[in-house]
Every structure is written in structure tokens, then in C-alpha cells.
Amino acid sequence: MSKSRNPRKKSSKPQNRRKRSGFWRFMFRAGAVGLVLLAGWMVYLDAVVTSRFEGRRFEVPSRVYARPLELYDGASVSASGLARELELAGYRAGDGARVGTYQRSGGRFVISARGFRFPDGEEPRRRLSLVVSGDRVQSFSVLAGPDSPIVRLEPAQIGGIYPSHREDRVLVRLEEVPDLLPKGLMVIEDRQFYEHFGVAPQSIARAMLANIKAGQIVQGGSTLTQQLVKNFFLTRDQTLIRKGNEALMSVLLEWHYEKDDILETYLNEVYLGQAGNRSINGFGLASQFFFGEPLKDLDVQQIALLIGMVKGPSYYNPRRHPERAKARRDLVLSEMAEAGLISADESARAIRQPLGVSSRPSYTDNRYPAYIDLVRRHLARDYREEDLQSEGLRIFTTLDPAVQNASETAIRDTLPRLARGDTREALEAALVVTAKDTGEVLALVGGKDPSFAGFNRAVDARRPIGSLIKPFTYLAALGQADRYTLITPVQDRAFTLEFDDGRLWQPKNYDGKERGEVPLHLTLSHSYNLPAVRIGLDVGIPRVQEVLRAFGVTTPISDYPSMLLGALSLTPTDVAQLYQGLATSGFNTPLRTIREVTDARNEPLSRYSLKVDRVADPAAVHLVQYAMQETMQEGTGRSAYFSLPDRLTLAGKTGTTDEGRDSWFAGFSGDLLAVAWVGRDDNGPTVLTGASGALPVWSAMMAQLPQHGFSPVMPDGIQYHWVNAQQQALTGERCANARLVPFIVGSEPQQRIDCEGQFGRQIRSWFEGLFQ
């Protein structure tokens, strides 16, 4: 029995044991599975949080800067231009002693420059004194800081290249941050930051108690680490699961990274405001955004304000709710005093200070969309879009804010005056301005609404260039000094060209008139079509094409004679490139919008250097420049002097296509080259010519800028002679019809009409004048 029982007993015991062990096994298994799941979850969370941490730590949009303003004795700038430039770079009118302020009385400026790390070296902090008189800098001196005869102001930031989630930041490093910021932050948000392991149970308990009392979540009790984790995922809902996840991820973060790494990332990550559709993350950018100053220059009360805003960036927005913001700031200040970070005196003094927030964000969205568009296209040659969005590159462009401002004003003010009714509505314009000798693009306007980031006509509107092509035909001819000079007589007479297939072509002058024999220089300055076609056919279309290609045309050029009247479609920027060679006496200078690109640590990545390439004989170009100056003085461009001073010598060329569909003007002074286009997007007709459409825009821009007149240095192989063009002879300076004309040496007329033959006549005319 016992045997039988025993086995039963025995069997029951093991059963019990089996039951018990089954339970434990189940528990063990469940626990194991749970642990595995938890471990898996932890691994997952770990992967999520570390990748976020690593990714965010370094994801910084690229910054685009205008060219820095160079200040030195003789620098060309107007007093109002300098003031505007300073505002744009985030300087405030003030005593000129505090860094980042300037003091102006009339033309006298005292500027306390911040200093800036340029790709080629540091521009240290300096106090500068100067006088702007006659649109020039005078009496330039350095009052404090290393002496130098020339100083660059920090460049204005004109835009950024943002990642798709449109977060912006200015990366700061912990060691660059004012000490008070992290310390104050810990006093307010997380006193045990350096002790806890990511979560602080004590504060959580305290917060929970408060929450239970209030019946809702009123307190966070989050550590800085938890706040950082929360910031990574951008959702504001506070469920328990989320809280748990946050806590786990915080612990994981602490396990992986040093406290200082976490603190630095927090400083760069925390959400502090909103600018349109972009969020303001990190103290570096917030400092720029609210005060227009770098973090390292902030005062105690400014730091306190930023710390206070962490709790509720929109609730404590100092621009929208200044009183709330000030109360919060003052609370932070007294807490900081209580914690011994600042003295009671300091705190009291800081509390008396106003908020000191700049009136408008010093930092606006891309305000020059057309220009930035061209910059991006140039960058796309060497950089990937992802890198531009996330690597924090610094892009130093050639944009000149004064020239850009003048260009936008010129289009805005001039365009409505050019036409009436529907045409006025439909009229569009584009303007490109470059520095004549460097090829740097100083300004670009892509349409009549410069702030509209749409169709960029300056770069994309490909239109027939009309008479703008003529200087190149004339250059081809004048390069053959044995056949053509500026005074060669050309027939201004109609003719018919018959093609092989029997079609006929009859070019006409714009005014329909014919003038017979006209000296070559006048046919260009008055833009007569018939002589231009005759000359072009004489030197040969292939030769003209060759010149155009040498000067930068890359698109196919028609073989038909109609190309001699501008049946070649180019964009305004293409035309600017083409005319650069004419303006610089035959040296092609590639247009540039970018000087340099560096990475976030100021290591140079690319330099886009000045390049010159001689594409034509400077002597022949000098002759074309002569006729292009004549265009402005007595030819189709003379109406420019309605708005420009006589002393400003200029050279240029008008262009008009059939029925005024395109109105062009391309021209240059000593310093600037500009191309203006006016027309309709639908390519419809207008009543405009180059002189009545594009030229007023061009002149309105030029009239706003101080600059040198155009006066080319006489190149090797050129000599000026007084000549009588009608007689094809050299003559004396005082003789009738005498004109001082440049010739390639050896091509000047051989015979001379001395004044002897005309002496009597000159006396007679004297007397005629006396006795009339």
C-alpha cells in the first residue's frame, strides 16, 4: 500500500513540486520573457535616443553671409548706407562703447566692433572712429584694440539653408558659454544635475505630490536630461508611458555620455521660441534672435531672461508678453542671487534694467530670395544638399546690401512709371549688378516683388538680347585694324539678303530712316541696325560667334544673319557675364556669388578665387568702350543723365526686341556693371525701348550709389588723334569737326587736313557770331 501510497505520495509530492516549480518556471519564464522584452525595449530606446543625440548634436543649417564692409580711409560708403549696414549686422545705436553698439552724430561714427572669425583669420574686437564725408570714409582710426589701417565689420547674415524640419540653431560650445548660463540654468531647472543619474526620484515625488493635489499635471520635476530627451521628440503630451520612456531614455543617455556632453547638447537643443515656421532651438540662436548679439556678449539680466524662458517659451515670449517675461526674469535673478551666483547688488541692478530685447528679430528669413537662389545654384556644383542643410557650413557671399537695396528700390520705384493699365500690371523686371573688376555679383533682383521667392528672372528668363549683341560684332571688326577703325564710313542704307532657299531678309533701322554714309562709332552709339548687319556680314558671322563664345556664351548661336540683330536668347546674368569682358578691357572674369565656404569650425572647404582670362585684345576693346561711352553721351543711352550727374562717366548699350517685348540695358561705371531687363512674362508687346524701359531702372539704381566714373586706362598699342571723320583725315584740335578718337597704332588716317585750309573759315564764323 505504502508502496502503492508511496508512489502516490511520491507521485503527489513531485506533482506539488511540479505545480510549484511550474509556477516558478512560469514566473521565471515570464520574467525572462519580460526581461528580454524590457532589454529589447531598452536596446530599442537606447538606439533611438543615442542616434537622436548624436544626430542632433551636429545638425546645423548653413549660414549665408553678405560681404563684410571694409572700413579704411577712402572707402566708398554713404553715412546712411553705413548706418543701414550696421543695423543689418545687428549693431544697435548706443554709446559706441559697449560691444555691438555704434554712436553717430552726423557723419561721425564711433563703432564698437564685435570682431569676427573670418576664413582667413580673426578680426579682433575694436573700437573705431571715422567720419563719412562726400560718401567716403575719412579720419579712420582705431580707438581701442589692435591698430590697423583697414578693418572688416562682421558680415550681416542674409539667410540660411535649413533642413526640412526647419529647425535653426547657432551651435555653442560649453567652454564658450558664459559661466552664469549653465549655473543659473541648474539653479532654476535642475539643482542636482551633476549628482543624479538622469532622473531625480526626489523631485519626481515632489512633483507627483503637487500634481495629485492639483488633480492635474502642474509640475514636471524633470531633470535637464529628461527635458533634453523630451525635446528630441517634440511632442508635448505628458502620458505616463511617455514619462516612463523619457525616464528610461534619460538613464540611458546618462549611462552613455558625460554630464558635460549632455549639458552642451541641452544648451543647443532646448526650444526657446518660434520665428514664422522655424523653431528657435538653443541658447546661441535665441541670443541672436532676441538680442541680436552673440551669447558671449550677454549681460546678467539677458542671460536670466533666456533661462526663465525655458519654462514656457511662448508664455514668456518677451516680445509678446513683456510684463510676464520681466516678472519671470526677475524671479530668476533673485533665485540666482539666493544661490550665490550673483551678489544681491548685481541682482538688484539687473532687475532695474529693461528687457533689452531688439525691436525686431535681427535675424529674418532669407530676405534676398533671388540672390540666395543663385548662391544655392553655385553651391550645388560642389556640395550636396544634405550637407548644406546639416553641416553648419558658413558661406561667405559677395552680396553688397547697399547695392541690393538700391537695386530693389530702383525696380520698385521705376517700374510703375513705365507703362499704364494692363501693361503696367504685366510688366516685370530683373536687375543684376556686379563689381566691374572682380566679377562679384553684388545684387540680384528677380522680379518686381523682390521678396517673392518665385520665378527668378535674373537667372531664368532667357530672352533675345537685341542690340546688346552689337558691341561684339563691332569688336570683331575693330580687331581687324587694317580694315576697320572708329571712323571708317559705313553705309546706312537698306538692302535685301536672299537665302539659298529663296527667302528674303530685309533688316531695318528702328526709326525706319536711312542716313547714307556714317562713321562707324556713330553707328554703334546710335544703334543703327543696317550698318551693324553690314559690318557683321563683312567680318563674317563665324567670327562674331567666336567673339561671343570667347566672352562667355555657352548656348548655341544661330548661323542666320538675324543673330547680328540679337536673335540670341540669354538671361540677364548671362549678359552680365558677357559684358564683364567689355568692361574690363578684354579680361573675362567669371561671375561669383561666393568667396569662401568653411565648416562650422571655420576650417576652409572651398575658396572661389578671382580669375582673369584675356579673351580679346585690350586695344580693340578700348575702341568699343569709346563708342559705348559715346552711347551714353550722345547716343541711345543719353537719357541716363536725366537722373545721373554729368561727372559720372559711363559706358553702355541699349537693346530692344520686336514690338518692345524685351527692353534691355547693359552698362558700366568705373566700379559697377549692371544689366537691366524689362518685359512681360507672357512675352507680350510693350511700348518700351531699351532706353525707355530698362535704362530708367538702370539709372535709378546707379543714381543711389557713390562710385567712380568709367575712365579706362589707355592700353598698349592705342593712340588718340584729333581727326575729321568726314574727311577721313587727321586734323588740329581747334579745327571744325575735330574729334579726339583712339586708334590702334598704325590704323590712324595718313593724310592730314591742316587748319590752314580752314583757318579763314574759322575767322569768318567768329565774325558771323559777332555781327549777327
Partner 1 sequence: MMKAVFSRCACLALALGVVGCASGPGGGSIYVPVGGQDRSTAPEPPRASGSEQDAEPRVWRKSEQPEVSEPEPPATRSPSYRQAGDELPAAAVSLIRDADQRLQQGDYNGAIARLERAQRIAPRSAEVYFKLAEAYVAGDNLGAAEQFTLKGLSLAGNDTRMQRSGWLLLADIRRARGNVAGADQAETRAQAL
119 near partner 1, rule: CB under 8 A = yes
Taking CB under 8 A as the rule, does residue 136 contact partner 1?
Answer: yes
**Residue with Cβ nearer partner 1 (613 or 658):** 613
At closest approach, how far in Å is the CB of 435 from partner 1? Answer: 7
Stretch that binds partner 1, among 100-108, 447-455, 617-625, 763-771 (CB under 8 A): 617-625
> What residue type is assigned to position 675 of the chain?
V
Query: Which residues are CB-neighbours of 544 under 8 A, at least 6 positions away?
Result: 472, 473, 476, 536, 563, 564
Cα four-point dihedral sign 647, 653, 658, 660: negative
Site for partner 1 in 571-610 (CB under 8 A): 584-587, 595, 604, 607, 609-610
Question: Which residue of the set 467, 585, 669, 699 is catalytic?
Answer: 467
- Active-site residue, 189 included: yes
Among 165, 173, 311, 611, binds partner 1 (CB under 8 A): 611
Is there binding between residue 154 and partner 1 (CB under 8 A)? no
Question: Which of the 8 DSSP states describes residue 135?
Answer: T
What is the C-alpha separation between 139 and 131, in angstroms, rounded? 6
Q: Please tell me the number of Cα atoms within 13 Å of 650 on its side-chain side.
A: 34
Q: Which of 436, 457, 526, 661 binds partner 1 (CB under 8 A)?
A: 436
Angle between helices 180-189 and 259-269 in degrees, nearest 10: 90
Distance of closest approach, residue 281 Cβ to partner 1, in angstroms: 33
Which residue reads 528669413 in cell numbers? 365
Q: State how far the Cα of 23 lies from the Cα of 35, in Å rounded to an integer.
A: 17
Nine cell digits for residue 99: 560691444
Q: Which of 189, 191, 219, 193 is nearest to 204 (CA)?
A: 219
Residues 479, 482, 487, 489, CA torsion sign: negative
Q: Is 706 in the site for partner 1 (CB under 8 A)?
A: yes
Q: Does 715 bind partner 1 (CB under 8 A)?
A: yes
The CB-of-453 to partner 1 minimum distance in angstroms stands at 29
What gap in Å lies between CA 686 and CA 694, rounded to an integer?
Answer: 12
Among 642, 659, 683, 754, binds partner 1 (CB under 8 A): 642
Residue from 323, 498, 500, 646 that binds partner 1 (CB under 8 A)? 646
Cell of 388: 548644406
Please say which residue, 161 or 419, places its beta carbon nearer to partner 1.
419
Helix, strand, or coil here: 361? Answer: coil
Determine, following the binding rule CB under 8 A, whether residue 626 of this chain makes contact with partner 1. Answer: yes
Of 625, 654, 689, 747, the one binding partner 1 by CB under 8 A: 625
With CB under 8 A as the contact rule, the residue among 129, 138, 148, 211 that binds partner 1 is 148
247 close to 45: Cβ distance less than 8 angstroms = no
Q: Of 82-90, 199-207, 227-235, 641-649, which part binds partner 1 (CB under 8 A)? A: 641-649
Among the listed residues 523, 526, 529, the one whose alpha carbon sits nearest the alpha carbon of residue 478: 523
| Environment class of 594 (CB within 10 Å of its CB; exposed 0-12, middle 13-18, buried 19+) | buried
Q: Which is nearer to partner 1, 74 or 354 (CB)?
A: 74
**Size of residue set near partner 1 by CB under 8 A:** 73
385 catalytic? Reply is: no
Contact between 404 and partner 1 by CB under 8 A: the answer reads no
Cell numbers for 247:
525616464
215 binds partner 1 (CB under 8 A): no
Looking at 301, 404, 414, 629, which residue binds partner 1 (CB under 8 A)? 629
CB atoms within 10 A of CB 205: 11
The dihedrals phi and psi of 445, each to the nearest 5 degrees, come to -120, 130
C-alpha–C-alpha distance, residues 324 and 316, integer Å: 6
How are strands ordered across the β-sheet holding 136-144?
Answer: 92-93, 101-105, 108-113, 126-133, 136-144
Nearer to partner 1, 42 or 644 (CB): 644
Tell which positions 217-276 bind partner 1, by CB under 8 A: none
- Per-residue contact string for residues 44-83; x = within reach of partner 1 by CB under 8 A: --------------------------x-xxxxx-x-----
Name the minimum Å distance from CB 712 to partner 1.
Answer: 6
Work out whether 435 is an interface residue with partner 1 (CB under 8 A): yes
CB of 698 to partner 1, least distance (A): 16
Work out the burial of residue 436: count CB atoms within 10 Å of its CB; fewer than 13 is exposed, 13-18 middle, 19 or more buried.
buried
The H or E element that residue 275 is part of is strand 271-275
Report the distance separating Cα 51 and Cα 41, nearest Å: 15
Interface with partner 1 (CB under 8 A), residue from 241, 504, 713, 770: 713
- Residues 674-703 binding partner 1 (CB under 8 A) are 703
Q: Which of 229, 185, 222, 224 is nearest to 206 (CA)?
A: 222
Give the integer Cα–Cα distance in Å for 646 and 633: 9
Q: CA geometry: angle at 190 spanning 184 and 193, to 5°?
A: 100
Which parts of 347-366 interact with partner 1 (CB under 8 A)? none
| Own/partner long-range contacts of 414-421 (Cβ < 8 Å, ≥24 apart) | 414/696, 414/697, 414/700, 415/448, 415/678, 415/697, 417/696, 418/678, 418/688, 418/692, 418/693, 418/696, 419/686, 419/687, 419/688
Q: For the segment 734-763, give every residue that binds partner 1 (CB under 8 A).
A: 739-740, 742
- Tell me the window of 167-175, 435-443, 543-551, 743-751 that interacts with partner 1 (CB under 8 A): 435-443
- The secondary element (H helix, E strand) that includes residue 349 is helix 344-352
Stretch that binds partner 1, among 14-22, 30-38, 144-152, 314-322 (CB under 8 A): 144-152
Binding segment toward partner 1, per CB under 8 A, in 122-130, 206-214, 350-358, 631-639: 631-639
Judged by beta carbon, residue 60 or residue 744, the one nearer partner 1 is: 744
Residue 751 C-beta-side C-alpha neighbours within 13 Å: 7
Alpha-carbon span 723 to 487, nearest angstrom: 9
What are residue 569's DSSP bridge partners?
A: 464
Q: Does 712 bind partner 1 (CB under 8 A)?
A: yes
How many Å apart are CA 293 and CA 642, to the nearest integer? Answer: 44
Pick the binder of partner 1 from 10, 614, 734, 764 (CB under 8 A).
614
Question: Minimum CB separation from partner 1 for residue 569, in Å?
Answer: 30
User: By C-beta, is 309 or 435 nearer to partner 1?
Assistant: 435
Cβ nearer to partner 1, comparing 529 with 629: 629
Using the minimum distance from each CB to partner 1, give the nearer residue, 70 or 338: 70
Closest distance to partner 1 from the beta carbon of 643 (Å): 7
Using the rule CB under 8 A, which residue among 238, 569, 707, 727 binds partner 1?
A: 707
Question: Do residues 486 and 629 lie in contact, with contact meaning Cβ atoms separated by under 8 Å?
Answer: no
Asked if 670 touches partner 1 (CB under 8 A), the answer is yes
SS (H, E, C) 175-204: HHCCCHHHHHHHHHHCCCCCCCCCCCHHHH
Nearer Cβ to partner 1 (136/515)? 136
With binding defined as CB under 8 A, does residue 145 bind partner 1?
A: no
Residue 207 C-beta-side C-alpha neighbours within 13 Å: 16
Closer to partner 1 by Cβ: residue 160 or 712: 712
Handedness of CA 106, 110, 114, 120 (dihedral sign): positive
Closest CB to partner 1 among residues 421, 645? 645
- Tell me if 511 contacts partner 1 by CB under 8 A: no
Nearest approach, Cβ of residue 691 and partner 1 (Å):
11
3-state secondary structure of 712: coil
Nearer to partner 1, 51 or 711 (CB): 711
Residues 85, 167, 189, 269: which is the catalytic one? 189
Place of cell 548655341: 556
Q: 639, 719, 727, 728: which one contacts partner 1 (CB under 8 A)?
A: 639
Q: Which stretch binds partner 1 (CB under 8 A): 374-382, 528-536, 637-645, 753-761?
A: 637-645
Q: What are the residue numbers of the active site?
A: 189, 467
